[in-house]
Structure 1
């Protein structure tokens, strides 16, 4: 099942990725669908989901593509925080309160408007770099341990594609960049990295 992206179709560049704490290039990853997404398993339409959940309304999305600028109003769209998953749109600056679950995972995401609990509030910013078509995601980790997560890029046809992401070290920020426009990022499987765990920028 495709994601219900409402953005206009456009040509995409090759799905390469640059992941950075100080930005550096990453090798392109194989494109494949993520079959573990909760929305795909439930197979509920956006309209049905929003009847019982607080969805985003009248969200304006603006970014540049090789075929010209995108400037679209989304009258209805998935919530930014959905349990243990995040939907991140271009221009988003999100403050997400999160809970440690079973000492291993991080979830129960809650979108907040103010950082009143700085010890458990993760800050996300997803922007376009200057006048180019490239995109940048910054993530600030408030926890006293390193964290890692999965990222999927949603293309202009609503298809998910795996991309690499770097671990976010304790009480620091990480910056991920891509040389092409991305209509949406889906973040899942946030978890705690233990001593000795892999710190490479991988999916």
Structure 2
């Protein structure tokens, strides 16, 4: 018995060392950032809004950051009808959710913002959203309709949006 105890301690120590080395070799999930850019939005036919942005994540802590011209996907880890992780997926063909955020200038001069969401999962998804707009202080809430499995959702706003943040993405009923 006296020789077994040190042997067990040695094996446990070696196992912990190998597990730590294995974890160190696996790449951690890295946050992917937008490269620094200047955002230019139509306010109307003749006026523009410009703002310079540094590195902003595409996805961070479950929040998805969108700017005009963004088109990318999300990889969702869904377990027990709950979303465990949300990750940026640059290849929309591999994505569980695809996003496209654009601006269109309407004939009447209105600068319309459009969000196209396509849900490739087997669950309905509910999403909350926040936005910032030119020349206004603070953050405004906005609504996103639930997106059924295999379906697309289209949202539009009749004004420019500097940044749209999708958050609290969850499985719905």
TM-score computed with the length of structure 2 as normaliser: 0.70
Q: Deviation at 1:152?
A: 0.8
1:176 to 145, 152, 155: 155
Relative to total residues, which structure has the larger helix share, 1 or 2? 2
- What 5-or-longer segments of structure 2 have no aligned partner? 1-29
Answer yes or no: is the 8 Å Cα contact 1:61–1:91 preserved in 2: no
1:45-71, CA deviations, whole angstroms, 9 ceiling, x for partnerless residues?
xxxxxxx95532222423201471234
1:173 and 1:116, CA in 2 relative to 1: closer, same or farther beyond 3 A?
closer
Counterparts in 2 of 1:34-183, with a 5 A limit? 54-66=32-44, 68-74=47-53, 76-104=54-82, 106=83, 108-115=85-92, 117-118=94-95, 121-131=96-106, 132-156=110-134, 157=136, 159-183=138-162
Partner Cα distance (1:98, 1:158) in 2: 32
Structure with the larger RCO, 1 or 2 (CA within 8 Å, 6+ apart): 1
Aligned length: 139
TM-score computed with the length of structure 1 as normaliser: 0.61
Query: What's the Cα RMSD here?
Result: 2.3
Larger Rg: 1 or 2?
2
Partner Cα distance (2:102, 2:33) in 1: 21
Task: Name the SS of the counterpart of 1:129 in structure 2.
Answer: strand
Partner Cα distance (1:122, 1:53) in 2: 18
Task: Name the SS of the counterpart of 1:144 in structure 2.
Answer: coil
- What 5-or-longer segments of structure 1 have no aligned partner? 1-51, 195-203
Task: Name the SS of the counterpart of 2:160 in structure 1.
Answer: coil
Partner Cα distance (2:49, 2:36) in 1: 15
The worse-fitting range, judged by mean Cα deviation, of 172-181 and 63-72 is: 63-72
Partner Cα distance (2:47, 2:63) in 1: 30
1:169 and 1:155, CA in 2 relative to 1: closer, same or farther beyond 3 A?
same
